[in-house]
């Protein structure tokens, strides 16, 4: 295949494109988009010429500010921290910008799942077609399965998946009937007393065991059914904007336990899904990126397939169809069958050699992601696959790790340029702003204002944000242990300011005010107990790591009226920026030997457990047990926290280099043991000299010098080295 320079007749090209990427775009992506290949390539060429220098300047500005902040702290070592002086200093160096006057977000063409409805947001690594399809289909999920198969009600059973445990199933059914009584009560009586559900005169009629008939207290909540009216197979009810599917099949094990033959309660769960090209994947070269782009292409065209082996057989997983039903007017209608897909691009600091400048320098991978993922998104807007994803005709790009308004302005301009190249109307490409860097949090109103015509969400990515918190204040002193971070003033101020800022700009009525990930993947009882707090704090949506978690998190949206909460918070005061800027410095007396050792081991274990799979197997998101044996989702953001935390304690003498090395070796043995069942796993011990182990060590010892504490540079170098070894 020719390179771009060869493809372009006038030889004035300022970029060189990897032939594999060029071929993929020409042969697989562009056909059907209505975009002329020449226009795409010359547009990309011009875009990079325009934006690359601008981006480099913005990255230099990040470095300048961090260097100034480091120097400020170093000059004041041993002095009491002076918050007022610190604030003045941040204003002086341009870290804290000016606040814009009042404005309202004014974004058009946003799908209901984002602008009107409130429900879980799922995140999925794009590199697994199997998971990505599962995520897209996680719009609907079985509440019975989610409660039965997890620790939600009872400790997780070993027998799950084999023969039905009747007493466990009965507990689930009783629990769900209790939920239905709260969410969609009968006019009188309980769903647990209903022996049959039928449709009569366009309404739902529920017959009780005493023979009496009841309707729903809110009769209008019934929206449709499938199957015969006398014995419906599905009854659809709407509550807080979310659909509930009462499924009936008396011949199933669960249906047999229910006098009404109700076999499942299926919830509308992941309204939106972020298909992630960023922190949950390990894509370091064109060979990794093309399959990732191809998965996104398959999602946008509806052609993605994955073979799934289960219970001895193999099924082909594909995108779910919409759900057809008979509405209350007797007409055939449908409900969306798939989650609305959003795509997360990489951060502006990541470079790729898939495209080189004329000087042979790698360009910002975010530009290539933006160009390719939106080009792919055109399949949803035009041609034969139109409307499969966005009914409102938008492409939703989540932009991570931006630092303040100038960087958002670059993203806004970048998307405007892409719209010109693709012949799209202005603001078709929407932008989701991750509020996950300290400078973004401190300048969120200005950033939101810049994107007000295309922003569809702000989201508190508290994991990256915690890593940046530690890195920014690296020189200020030793920070509190990781677990204590959650109760620090900055974090409260950060979460609250994000909500108040979003509400103040009317974002809740046009898009989402989102909150972060539940990382304890298998602790569903804890999630049910705790994750509702994010909604009570004003979130429109919050992140979950799996489809099962999405179903269980949906419970919160039925229990809490998000719109009411947000109305109540509309005039809440904005916590002062000084609270946001208060560093989380530890009280040295509290850093006992036991606390320090356990904190170090915990950080080292999660770091090693994640890095070894990243480097040796190219896995970007893993479940890694913490020191208490609790499985936690680890991705690059959680790695950023661990590496920065250890580096901070090293810098301030809380721990020594020898202690870190000793912990690394001890924990490597443990991580090897944890992965003993994995035949593809390469142990780190006893040599402790493989690329994975060395990269993990570098991530600690070089953490201070990594721009903003990002881990991707060292990870990518390690992975590239590992790939070379074959």
Catalogue the active-site residues.
Answer: 344, 635
Check whether 461 is labelled as a binding-site residue. Answer: yes
* 545 touches ligand ACO by CB under 6 A: yes
Tokens coding 671: 């991580």
Instruction: Specify the residue for token string 């470079």.
Output: 351
Torsion angles phi and psi, residue 550, rounded to 5? -65, -45
Residue 372 lies near ligand O=CC(=O)O (rule: CB under 6 A)? no
For residue 456, give the nearest of 139, 133, 119, 116 by alpha carbon. 116
Residue 699 interaction partner, one of Mg ion, ligand ACO, ligand O=CC(=O)O, none, beta carbon < 5-8 Å per kind: none
Among 377, 461, 502, 609, binds ligand O=CC(=O)O (CB under 6 A): 461
Any binding-site annotation on 293? no
Site string for ligand ACO, 152-191 (x = CB under 6 A): ----------------------------------------
What is the DSSP secondary structure assignment for residue 220, as one 8-state letter? G
Token look-up 């190219």 returns 618
323 labelled ligand-binding: no
Residues 96-115 that bind ligand ACO (CB under 6 A): none
**Whose Cβ is closer to ligand O=CC(=O)O: residue 258's or residue 435's?**
435
- Number of residues engaging ligand O=CC(=O)O in binding (CB under 6 A): 10
- In degrees and rounded to multiples of 5, residue 692 shows phi and psi of -60, -50
In the complex, minimum distance from the CB of residue 132 to ligand ACO, in angstroms, rounded to a whole number: 7
- Pick from Mg ion, ligand O=CC(=O)O, ligand ACO, none: which does 621 bind, CB < 5 to 8 A by kind? ligand ACO
Candidate list 434, 451, 608, 699; residue touching ligand O=CC(=O)O; CB under 6 A: 434
Least Cβ distance, residue 461 to ligand O=CC(=O)O (angstroms): 3
- Three-state secondary structure of 528-584: HHHCHHHHHCCCCEEEECCHHHHHHHHHHHHHCCHHHHHHHHCCCCCCCHHHHCCCC
Residue nearest to Mg ion (CB): 464
Buried residues in 359-374 as b, exposed as e (16+ CB within 10 A): eeeebbbbbbbbbbbb
C-alpha atoms less than 13 angstroms from C-alpha of 253 in its C-beta half-sphere? 14
Give, as ranges, the residues between 443 and 482 that touch Mg ion (CB under 5 A): 461, 464
CB closer to Mg ion out of 45 and 464: 464
Secondary structure letter of residue 102 according to DSSP: P
Smaller CB separation from ligand ACO, 45 or 276: 276
Position 622 contacts ligand ACO (CB under 6 A): yes
* Shortest Cβ 430–ligand O=CC(=O)O spacing (Å): 18
Q: Is 481 a residue that touches ligand O=CC(=O)O (CB under 6 A)?
A: no
Phi-psi region of 382 (alpha: psi -120 to 50; beta: other; left: phi over 0): beta
- Cβ within 8 Å of residue 10, ≥6 positions away: none
- State yes or no: cis peptide before 128, omega within 30 of 0: no
Q: Between 421 and 451, whose beta carbon lies closer to ligand O=CC(=O)O?
A: 451
> Exposed, middle or buried by CB within 10 Å (0-12, 13-18, 19+), for 33?
buried
257 binds, among ligand ACO, ligand O=CC(=O)O, Mg ion, none (CB under 5 to 8 A by kind): none
Residue 276 interacting partner from ligand O=CC(=O)O, ligand ACO, Mg ion, none (CB closer than 5 to 8 Å by kind): ligand ACO
The reply to whether 540 sits in an annotated binding site is: no
The residue assigned the tokens 């445990």 is: 165
Single residue of 22, 235, 447, 463 touching ligand O=CC(=O)O by CB under 6 A = 463
Structure tokens at 626: 């913490």
Contacts of 72 (CB under 8 A, 6+ apart): 86, 89
- The piece of 8-16, 67-75, 81-89, 619-627 that touches ligand ACO (CB under 6 A) is 619-627
| Contact flag: residue 606 with ligand ACO (CB under 6 A) | no
How many Å apart are CA 503 and CA 422, to the nearest integer? 33
CB atoms within 10 A of CB 175: 15
**Nearest CA to 545 among 270, 345, 341, 176?**
270
How large is the angle between the packed helices 365-381 and 37-75, nearest 10 degrees?
140
Tell which positions 303-322 bind ligand ACO, by CB under 6 A: 308
Instruction: Give the one residue of 113, 193, 279, 599 binding ligand ACO; rule: CB under 6 A.
Output: 279
Give the binding-site size for Mg ion (rule: CB under 5 A): 4
> What is d(CA 515, CA 123) in angstroms, rounded to the nearest whole number?
12
By beta-carbon proximity to ligand O=CC(=O)O, the closer residue of 254 and 280 is 280
Contact with ligand O=CC(=O)O (CB under 6 A) among 637, 654, 691, 699: 637
Q: How far is the CB of 641 from ligand O=CC(=O)O (least distance, A)?
A: 9
Element (H, E) at 226: strand 222-226
Whole-number Å distance between alpha carbons of 131 and 682: 24
Has 417 been labeled as part of a binding site?
Answer: no
CB of 276 to ligand ACO, least distance (A): 5
Question: Would you say 462 is a known binding-site residue?
Answer: yes
245, 258, 295, 436: which one binds ligand O=CC(=O)O (CB under 6 A): 436
C-alpha span between 642 and 485 (Å, rounded): 12
CA R_g for the chain: 26
Query: Would you count residue 463 as binding ligand ACO (CB under 6 A)?
Result: yes
CB of 62 to Mg ion, least distance (A): 16
Q: Which residue is nearest to ligand O=CC(=O)O (CB)?
A: 461
Question: What contacts 536, CB < 8 A, 6 or more positions away?
Answer: 560, 565
Does 462 help bind ligand O=CC(=O)O (rule: CB under 6 A)? Answer: yes
Task: Assess 347 for contact with ligand O=CC(=O)O (CB under 6 A).
Answer: no
44 binds Mg ion (CB under 5 A): no
**Residues whose CB is less than 8 angstroms from the CB of residue 589 and which lie 6 or more positions away in sequence, other chains included:** none
The beta-carbon contacts of 672-681 under 8 Å, at least 24 apart in sequence, are: 674/609, 674/624, 674/625, 675/612, 675/613, 680/616, 680/617, 681/612, 681/616, 681/617
Looking at the Cβ atoms of 304 and 650, the one nearer to ligand ACO is: 304
CA distances from 359 to 16, 19, 110, 355, 362 (A): 10, 18, 41, 11, 9
436 is in an annotated binding site: yes
Provide the annotated binding site for acetyl-CoA: 123, 130-131, 280, 317, 545
Provide the annotated binding site: 123, 130-131, 280, 317, 344, 436, 461-464, 545
- Give the residues lining the site for ligand O=CC(=O)O (CB under 6 A): 279, 434, 436, 461-464, 516-517, 637
- Give the residues lining the site for ligand ACO (CB under 6 A): 122-125, 130-131, 134-135, 276, 279-280, 308, 461, 463, 517, 521, 545-547, 621-623, 633, 635, 637
- Give the residues lining the site for Mg ion (CB under 5 A): 436, 461, 464, 637
């Amino acid at each position: 295949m020719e390179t771009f320079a060869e493809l372009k007749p006038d030889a004035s090209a300022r970029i060189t494109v990897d032939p594999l990427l060029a071929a993929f775009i020409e042969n697989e992506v562009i056909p059907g988009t209505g975009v002329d290949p020449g226009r795409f390539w010359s547009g990309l060429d011009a875009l990079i010429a325009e934006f690359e220098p601008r981006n480099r300047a913005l990255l230099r500005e990040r470095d300048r500010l961090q260097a100034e902040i480091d120097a400020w702290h170093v000059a004041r070592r041993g002095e009491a921290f002076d918050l007022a002086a610190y604030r003045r200093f941040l204003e002086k160096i341009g870290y804290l910008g000016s606040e814009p006057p009042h404005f309202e977000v004014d974004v058009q063409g946003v799908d209901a799942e984002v602008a009107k409805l409130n429900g879980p947001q799922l995140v999925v690594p794009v590199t697994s077609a199997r998971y990505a399809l599962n995520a897209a289909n996680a719009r609907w999920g079985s509440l019975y399965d989610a409660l039965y198969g997890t620790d939600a009600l009872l400790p997780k059973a070993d027998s799950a998946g084999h023969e039905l445990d009747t007493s466990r199933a009965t507990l689930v059914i009783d629990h769900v009937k209790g939920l239905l009584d709260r969410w969609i009560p009968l006019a009188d009586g309980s769903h647990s007393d209903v022996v049959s559900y039928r449709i009569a005169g366009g309404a739902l009629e529920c017959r009780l065991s005493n023979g009496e008939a009841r309707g729903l207290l809110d009769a209008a909540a019934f929206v449709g059914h499938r199957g015969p009216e006398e014995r419906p197979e599905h009854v659809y009810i709407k509550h807080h904007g979310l659909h509930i599917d009462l499924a009936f099949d008396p011949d199933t094990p669960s249906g047999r336990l229910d006098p009404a033959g109700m076999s499942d309660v299926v919830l509308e769960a992941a309204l939106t899904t972020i298909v992630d090209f960023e922190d949950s994947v390990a894509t370091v070269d064109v060979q990794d990126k093309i399959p990732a782009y191809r998965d996104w292409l398959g999602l946008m065209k509806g052609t993605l397939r994955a073979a799934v082996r289960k219970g001895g057989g193999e099924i082909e997983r594909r995108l779910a169809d919409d759900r057809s039903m008979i509405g209350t007017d007797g007409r055939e209608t449908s409900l969306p069958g798939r989650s609305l897909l959003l795509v997360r691009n990489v951060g502006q600091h990541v470079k790729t050699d898939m495209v080189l400048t004329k000087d042979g320098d790698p360009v910002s991978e975010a530009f290539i992601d933006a160009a390719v993922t939106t080009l792919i998104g055109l399949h949803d807007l035009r041609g034969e696959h139109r409307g499969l994803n966005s009914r409102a005709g938008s492409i939703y790009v989540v932009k991570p790790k931006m630092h303040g308004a100038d960087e958002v302005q670059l993203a806004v301009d970048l998307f405007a340029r892409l719209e010109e190249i693709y012949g799209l109307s202005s603001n078709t490409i929407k932008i989701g702003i991750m509020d996950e860097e300290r400078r973004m949090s401190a300048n969120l109103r200005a950033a939101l204002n810049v994107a007000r015509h295309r922003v569809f969400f702000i989201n508190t990515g508290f994991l990256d944000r915690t890593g940046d918190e530690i890195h920014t204040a690296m020189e200020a002193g030793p920070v509190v242990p990781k677990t204590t971070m959650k109760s620090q003033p900055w974090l409260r101020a950060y979460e609250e300011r994000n909500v108040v800022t979003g509400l103040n700009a009317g974002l809740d009525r046009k898009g989402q005010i989102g909150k972060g990930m539940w990382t304890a993947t298998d602790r569903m009882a804890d999630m049910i107990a705790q994750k509702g707090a994010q909604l009570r704090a004003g979130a429109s949506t919050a992140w979950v790591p799996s489809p099962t978690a999405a179903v269980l998190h949906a419970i919160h949206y039925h229990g809490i009226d998000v719109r009411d909460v947000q109305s109540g918070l509309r005039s809440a005061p904005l916590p002062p920026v000084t609270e946001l800027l208060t560093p989380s410095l530890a009280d040295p007396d509290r850093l006992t030997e036991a606390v320090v050792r356990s904190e170090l081991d915990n950080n080292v274990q999660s770091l090693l457990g994640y890095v070894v799979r990243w480097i040796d197997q190219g896995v970007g998101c893993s479940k890694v047990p913490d020191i208490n044996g609790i499985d936690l989702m680890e991705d690059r953001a959680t790695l950023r926290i661990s590496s920065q935390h250890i580096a901070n304690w090293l810098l301030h003498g809380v721990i020594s280099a020898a202690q870190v090395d000793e912990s690394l070796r001890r924990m490597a043995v443990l991580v090897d043991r944890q992965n003993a069942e994995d035949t593809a796993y390469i142990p780190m011990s006893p040599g402790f000299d493989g690329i994975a182990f060395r990269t993990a060590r570098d991530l600690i010892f070089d953490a201070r010098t990594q721009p903003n504490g990002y881990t991707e540079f060292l990870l990518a170098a390690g992975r590239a080295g590992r790939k070379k070894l074959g």
